[in-house]
Structures are given as C-alpha cells and as structure tokens.
Amino acid sequence: MNPGDLLLHLEAYLALENALGFSLRARERLLRDFVAFVEVHNTTRTISSQIALAWACSVSARCGVSGRAARLSIARRFLFHLSAMVPGIEVPSASLLARPQRSKPFLFSTEEISRLLNAALSVGAQASLQPRTLSTLLGLLVSSGLRANEALNLEVSDVLLDLDPPQLEIRKTKFNKSRLVPIHETVANKLRQYAELRHRLDYDALSDYFFVSEQGGRIRYKALYSAFQKLVSSLGIQAREGSRRPSLHSFRHGFAVNRLRAWYQQGVDVRAHLPQLSVYLGHLEPAHTYWYLSATPELLNEAAHSFAAYAMEGDEQ
C-alpha cells in the first residue's frame, strides 16, 4: 500500500459501518489512532499481526487487560475488512491477548424485588410524588429491561398507554437508535396509576418528563442510583459469591434471563426468538444480547427439559 492508502480505506470502512447503523464514536477515534500508529511504525507495505498487537499494547498500564483486548478486537475487525481488498494483510488472532474473566452479574430474586419495590414506597414525604416515583421507576426497569437512562428520559408523550398493546417510545438512546417497546398490561396499569397521581398532585405543570423530580425536572441518574443503593443496603441485599454488586443494570440482566426461561417453558424456539429480544433491548445485533444471558440453575433446568423433549421426539421418529 502506498502512503495515504490506509487512511482512504479507513474512511471507506467508517462510511460503511455508519451506513449499516453501527455506532462509531470511540471506535472511530481508536481506528484513526491505529492508522496513525501504522503509518509511523510500519516499515513494510503490508500490515502484520505484530504491528496490530504493538498498537493494542501501546497504552498505559491503567488501560488494563480488558482495554488492550478491546483495542486489538477493534483493529482485527478493520483488518479483516481490509484483507478482502488488499493482499498481504494479516488479521491477528483474537487469542493473542488474554481477556479478563467476567464476573457473574447480580440477579435479584422475586422476593428481593418485592421487598425493594415495597421499601421504595417509604422513601420521601408520603404526601409527595417521590415514593411512588421511585417504586414505579424501579418496577418499570424490572419488567421492561430498559436502561436506567432510557426510563429517566421518557417524556409524557412517549408513554403510549392507550395503544394495543401499550408501548413506550424510546428516542435516540444508545447507538443513536429509537425503538418502540411494548409493555404488559399490568405494567401499563402501574404507569396509569402513577400518571393519575402525578396529575392529581399538580406535577404536570412542572415538567414534560414522565418521571419527574421534586424540583420539577428530569431525575438525574446519580440521584436514582444513590436512592437505589440506599434501599439495597437497608434491606441487606448483598453480592453473592462470585457475583458483582447489585446495580440498576442488574434488572436488565434479570429481564433477559427471565425472558429466555419463559420461552423455554412455553416450548418456543429460543434461538429463533433471540433477535426479537435483541431488538427489544435496543442492541445492534444478537451477539450483544448474549452478554446479558447468565446460566442460572433455573434457566439451565428449563433448557435441559427442552432438550429432553427434543431428544424424545427424535427417538420416536
């Protein structure tokens, strides 16, 4: 490759990624840094695995094992694309750098969720909207798998409770995507009750946000996180052996696992339905959804029953 060709290939690659709907942001910055690194340090007209590895490791110790592995993964994806057009491009193996072992996500039990939502009703002045705001907001995260900021950003016009089925319109969230999220009628009823109380207590004039703070604006993530952690601590809910601490994101993990478990119980083709779950959660592709799927004993039990039924059908044929 001649000098400058690599940058032209990068521009074409970024344009393709953008057209396919992939979020660039940090990846674009890192890829431009990779191209600049190659142009300075590469002494051949091709790109070797060694130069990609050297770039991935050319960061401070604070970046850590996971950071270096992530950088190599970004370079690999670009080089794989480039290898289809430019001869002599080496795509480094993903196993060149170790990846950190993933800690198990914390999954709330049904009993813990019930205690959490009930305890939320005691937070703040009982004559205000605050207790019902916290309880309803946490309940929505549990039942819908929304990201916390997606729920906090909901405006009154985004909560479409009169549709069949009721839906939430999630606007320009992560990856700059919007989507409609159907919700169960029982969830919609809780949101209707909250909306009625919000109106009765004259909060409608304070904000267009559905979940409104006592000051009348959008509830800040930091405030929600702080209230959540205080509740968890007061109830004595702690990390289990080998798991992370309870977090707001734990509800999203729990939603994904419970959805799979329900599908197994219903006897549906889980593999065929995974793309639907991916879209519902707002992921770009099903591969991103697998991060949320933890092999709980209950889920493995349902999967085993499903496989046993499949095996018995095969024996009968």
Q: In one letter, which amino acid is 165?
A: P
Query: Is position 199 annotated as part of the catalytic site?
Result: no
Two tokens, residue 1: 């490759």
Query: Is position 174 annotated as part of the catalytic site?
Result: yes
- Of the candidates 68, 71, 115, 283, the residue annotated as catalytic is 283
Handedness of CA 230, 235, 241, 247 (dihedral sign): negative
CB distance 259 to 277 below 8 Å: yes
Query: Is position 283 annotated as part of the catalytic site?
Result: yes
Q: In one letter, which amino acid is 94?
A: A
State the Cα–Cα distance between residues 27 and 103, nearest whole angstrom: 25
- Of the candidates 218, 252, 259, 261, the residue annotated as catalytic is 252
Phi/psi of residue 195, nearest 5 degrees: -65, -40
Two tokens, residue 297: 């004993």
- Of the candidates 76, 81, 147, 253, the residue annotated as catalytic is 147
CB distance 177 to 282 below 8 Å: yes
- Of the candidates 41, 174, 200, 288, the residue annotated as catalytic is 174
Tell me how far CA of residue 120 lies from CA of 128, 130, 137, 144, 166, in angstroms.
13, 9, 10, 18, 25
- Of the candidates 32, 104, 249, 273, the residue annotated as catalytic is 249
CB neighbours of 244 closer than 8 A, spacing ≥ 6?
103, 104, 105, 106, 250
Query: Is position 27 annotated as part of the catalytic site?
Result: no
Which residue matches tokens 């879209």? 279
Phi/psi of residue 243, nearest 5 degrees: -105, 165
Active site residues: 147, 174, 249, 252, 283, 292
